[in-house]
Amino acid sequence: MASKVHDLLYQSFERALTQLEQKRLDEALKTSETLRREKAVLERLRQRVTDSSVDTKFRPFFADRVMSRIRSQTATGLRIESVWEGIIAAFRPIAIAATVVMIVLISYNLFKSKTISVASALGEPDITLEQVVDPAFVMNWE
């Protein structure tokens, strides 16, 4: 009960209490000297905290420092952008031709191998390791 009233006291500084809550707090304040003292201490504490507000300025020329960082950030962004634009411009003329060549090669490989797989599309020969390496040679070598 006492703790509830205590909570109400703290909350009374933060929000409007309901009629019932306010009545309960007022009655408790009337009867309890401790609670009245607590309220007074809380009021002083809150005032002290408000009064202790810190410096409201950073070091001098703060705005200039921020603007200079924004400018350099924008310049770096523009530089990166222009490098990308350069790369795109350089590759654009050959990109279409390269794509056409790639499609022709893939079609040719698929047609030649008569199977549909990534390996055959890339023109990889369909042979095993044993077919590549002569087993007799491997045994002699061991």
For residues 77-136, which are near another protein according to CB under 8 A? none
Rule CB under 8 A: choose which of 22, 23, 26, 66 binds another protein. 66
Q: Per CB under 8 A, does 33 bind another protein?
A: no
Size of the site for another protein (CB under 8 A): 32
Which residue in 1, 3, 14, 89 binds another protein (CB under 8 A)? 14
If we measure between CA atoms, which residue out of 73, 63, 4 comes closest to residue 32? 4
- Give the distance, in angstroms, between the CA of residue 128 and the centroid of all CA atoms in the same chain: 47
Contact between 65 and another protein (CB under 8 A)?
yes
Q: Encoding tokens for residue 68?
A: 């200079």
3-state DSSP assignment of residue 134: coil
User: Cα separation of 124 and 68, whole Å?
Assistant: 56
* Secondary structure element (H or E) that encloses residue 6, with its range: helix 2-11
The binding site for another protein (CB under 8 A) comprises 7, 10-11, 14-15, 37, 40-42, 44-46, 48-59, 62-63, 65-67, 69-70, 73
